[in-house]
Amino acid sequence: MNLGQLRASLERAARLDFARSSGPGGQNVNKTSTKAIARVSVAELEGLSDAERERVRERLDGRLTAEGDLVVYAQDERSQVLNRAAALARLESLIVKAAHRPKERRPTKPTRASRERRLSGKKARSEVKRGRGRPEGET
């Protein structure tokens, strides 16, 4: 993955819309459109290999629109510029996380010492439970 190329591609290909933010905020929130809505087509992204692009599609399937666009929004800040930057950063973060291929797990056997510790723990627990019964000889 070429992160620089991906960032440049997001700056270029992302379509930004602005809307009024929700929630409390007084007079300012009622008259300014500070909420940033960023959408980008996964197919248009550069800096991803074909395998990474497919992984992004699979992992973010629930967040993609019918046209294959990934949509995020930011309304945390009071300024449109900061929300725009936050939305693009969220897009980048989502794509980078989704494109990452997890390391393959190599199966291992438990060591002899760990098996012995497990068994000695089980024996100790068994003794504790056995000691809870009635003493021998009493009926």
The CATH number for 70's domain is 3.30.160.20
3-state secondary structure of 44: helix
Q: Do 17 and 37 touch, CB atoms closer than 8 A?
A: yes
Residue 133 in domain: no
Residue at 126 is within a domain? no
Q: How many domains does the chain have?
A: 1
pLDDT the model gives residue 76: 87
Name the CA radius of gyration of the chain, rounded: 28
Q: Please tell me the predicted confidence (pLDDT) of residue 116.
A: 98
Q: Is residue 56 part of a domain?
A: yes
Whether 104 is covered by a domain: the verdict is no
Does 127 map to a domain? no
Q: Residue 136 pLDDT more than 90?
A: no
The parent domain of residue 68 ranges over 3-99
Q: What is the pLDDT of residues 48-83, one digit of tens each?
A: 889 999 999 999 999 899 988 999 999 988 888 999
Give domain status of residue 130, yes or no. Answer: no
Instruction: Give the integer Cα–Cα distance in Å for 38 and 33.
Output: 14
Decide if 113 is inside a domain: no
Residue 27 covered by a domain: yes
Q: What is the pTM of this model?
A: 0.70
pLDDT per residue as tens digits for the range 4-43: 888 888 888 899 999 988 877 677 777 888 899 999 999 8
Distance CA 8, CA 65 (A): 22
